[in-house]
Structure 1
Amino acid sequence: MEISPREAPSRWLTAGVPLLAALAALALAAIPLAFAGAPILEAYRQMFAGVFGSVFSFTEMLTRATPLVFTGLAAAIAFRARLWNIGAEGQLYLGAMAAVWIGSGLIDGPALLMIPLVLLAGFIAGGLGMLGPAVLRTRFGADEVVTSLLLNFIILIFVQMMLEGPLKDPMSLGWPQSEPMTDAATLPRLMGKMRLHAGFLLAIGTAIVAHVVMAMTVWGLKIRATGENAAAARHAGIPVRRLLLAVAFVSGGLAGLAGVSEVAGLKGYLTTDLSPGFGYTGIVVAMLAGLSPLGVVLAALYIASVFVGTDSMSRALGVSSFLADLTVSMSLICVLLGGFFSRFRLRRIRPEAAA
């Protein structure tokens, strides 16, 4: 067998890889389900009903997808420039901490002032969280995969320290959590008693803006050119170092908005268990989306459906909820394999040709 590159992968092939990867991952999930002794068809029916069976379950899926859109965008934009932001988890917590610091009473004002101020504070805090690894890369050649990943743990320890100190709620009975967000700094709910909040609309709007910027502006062209070939981009006059710093700040800021949406729209206060891994899952979302901002929305909805649907199936059939993590992992493996075969093909070499 011989591996040879495809001359020009078709758009249908490139666009179909994420969809096939998602379907393949769901199909492969039947294997651990079978080992667990669960009826396969009933398990998938419970998964589907757990997402689309009621208005409540559907809005829960949208709520779960909201931070994934932000962290998926953070990874997608950075990866476009070949800047490997693995620190979205820490940047999410920085954004949440800045939002709580501003929105829990430091500044008193109406919602028209407080909500934009909280969003801006979270964006800046998250952006600064990625700016450090970017400076280390552009200045000293340090690998941002390592520095941004290790910074996640440093930031989490810092958040724990703040929750035990200046940000601790004196009414929490010793529990390490921040003071609650004021009503003026809270994102409004979209549907009655449902948990779905305005952060979802903000995430969709951000994805649309990111698509326009990446596809229709000079800055987006510079990002794509740098990602394709940084040396050629530098030769063409693009200030690659400055561009990477700007991309790093925007990427971290988007991850910071994920933290803001969770504390200002859903939970109302900050704890160290705010995120079950949204920052890391955002990388899977970005890869499933093919680094497309609009594709990030669809990929986030898919991943959120897997998590919410598997939770429902777990309660109904007694199957481990860790199946959701397994399905997401298999989705990433499938999309990586699909991406490889969309760029390369396997050819069988005839014996006489080899001779």
Structure 2
Amino acid sequence: MIRFEPREHVSPLRRVAAPVVAAVAALAVASLAIAAAGAPVLEAYGLMAKGAFGSAFAMSELLARATPLIFTGLAAAVAFRAKLWNIGGEGQLYAGALAAVAVGTGALALPGPLLIPTVILAGALAGGLLMLIPALLKVRLGADEVVTTLLLNFVVILFVQMMLEGPMKDPMGMGWPQSEPMLDEAMLPKLMDRMRVHAGLILALVAALGVHILLKRTVWGFETRAVGENPEAARHAGIPVTATFLRVALLSGGLAGLAGVGEVAGLKGYLTADLSPGFGYAGIVVAMLAGLSPVGVVVAALFIAGVFVGADSMSRAIGVSNYLADLVVATSLICVLVSGLFVRFKVRIVRPGAGRGTA
């Protein structure tokens, strides 16, 4: 019989090694799909690495793809720390993008130095307020936030489609369902000439550092961790559990909303219904790979972004479907969950009738 026993102490090395092993295992599983497609595995991964890191353009694409993943990864990590299961990053991203476009297309006559911060604040506020809805349903009515946040994704995306076909449709868009373009003064500056990487990356890195300090060095961070460990014990200790949940919801949703701001104000310049290829869902994988560490989120986002960008390049070179990237992301989540199990628990084999087991 197999029995899982909690570990009394988990070494830092084991915690760091778990996501690394998970990533390697995910690539190993994906190699089976590459081989089944008739492509050379080593050459495929070599092309993937070259496509992600082999040139200035590749690095620019990598960083541009990693930027929204950092935001959505932070959103998931913050919420999960408090055991608030935010699966609505995708909807919050679109809410942030919609608010950014509403402000950045001329609704407010502000100069550039004021318009850009206003656009950023509007996007963060929209994402935060959206996440506040399932948080209130959880603390007031006991509703499962996994269900409510997931369903809100579809509600928001349908609302965005309605707005793009109606009040916010670009009259000069030749009938395409897209918003009016953002004003030049509302666009985030580029970090490299003729490249897509933009100042949203700096904002994402600052956000990661800020969340790290908030969770590790502040009373509010301690309360968040305490609520995540045991809400009832935290309540008996005098920690405001409901207020903590609501603060976490606002921060988590706001971070996801910033991902939407970066996509419209840093890259596209306008909003479409296909703005995100699933950044909100991929952010959950990023957070889990990072072990819910804000600093680790940056590293995990770069890994996932490298897989996506490299898979596109590899697909063009040897004809392997770029859906391989989705396979790697999915198996990464499975592998990190399994590795996390072995980090927290010891496996013992107990012989029937024996009093003690052997490791």
TM over 0.5: yes
Write the deviation string for residues 298-333 of structure 1: whole angstroms up to 9, x where unpaired: 000000000001111111010011110000111111
Aligned mates of 1:288, 1:320 — CA distance in 2:
24
Letter of the 1:290 counterpart: G
Give the Å deviation of 1:351: 5.8
Give the Å deviation of 1:349: 2.6
Aligned mates of 1:161, 1:40 — CA distance in 2:
44
- Residue 29 of structure 1 aligns to a residue whose secondary structure is helix
1:296 corresponding residue in structure 2: 297
Q: TM-score, normalised by structure 1?
A: 0.98
1:277 corresponding residue in structure 2: 278
> Between the two proteins, what is the percent identity of the paired residues?
65
Aligned mates of 2:151, 2:258 — CA distance in 1:
21
RMSD: 1.1
Tell me whether 1:79 sits opposite 2:98 in the alignment.
no
Give the Å deviation of 1:28: 1.7
Give the Å deviation of 1:4: 1.6
Aligned mates of 1:192, 1:152 — CA distance in 2:
35
1:262 corresponding residue in structure 2: 263
1:325 corresponding residue in structure 2: 326
1:310 corresponding residue in structure 2: 311
Aligned mates of 1:208, 1:281 — CA distance in 2:
21
Give the Å deviation of 1:348: 2.4
1:112-261 equivalent positions in 2, closer than 5 A: 112-261=113-262
Give the Å deviation of 1:354: 5.2
Letter of the 1:114 counterpart: L
- Residue 353 of structure 1 aligns to a residue whose secondary structure is coil
Aligned mates of 1:352, 1:150 — CA distance in 2:
49
- Residue 3 of structure 1 aligns to a residue whose secondary structure is strand
Aligned mates of 1:143, 1:89 — CA distance in 2:
18
Q: TM-score, normalised by structure 2?
A: 0.97
Write the deviation string for residues 101-131 of structure 1: whole angstroms up to 9, x where unpaired: 0001111222210110000000110011100
Aligned mates of 1:111, 1:190 — CA distance in 2:
17
Aligned mates of 2:124, 2:197 — CA distance in 1:
21
- Residue 86 of structure 2 aligns to a residue whose secondary structure is coil
More divergent stretch after superposition (31-40 vs 1-10) = 1-10
Kindly report structure 1 stretches of 4+ aligned residues shifted beyond 4 Å: none
- Residue 2 of structure 1 aligns to a residue whose secondary structure is strand
1:93 corresponding residue in structure 2: 94
- Residue 105 of structure 1 aligns to a residue whose secondary structure is coil
Give the Å deviation of 1:14: 1.1
- Residue 354 of structure 2 aligns to a residue whose secondary structure is helix
Q: Gaps spanning 5+ residues in structure 1: where?
A: none
Aligned mates of 1:161, 1:14 — CA distance in 2:
45
Aligned mates of 1:148, 1:231 — CA distance in 2:
23
2:3 corresponding residue in structure 1: 2
1:30 corresponding residue in structure 2: 31
Letter of the 1:165 counterpart: G
Write the deviation string for residues 269-315 of structure 1: whole angstroms up to 9, x where unpaired: 00000000000000000000000000000000000000001111111
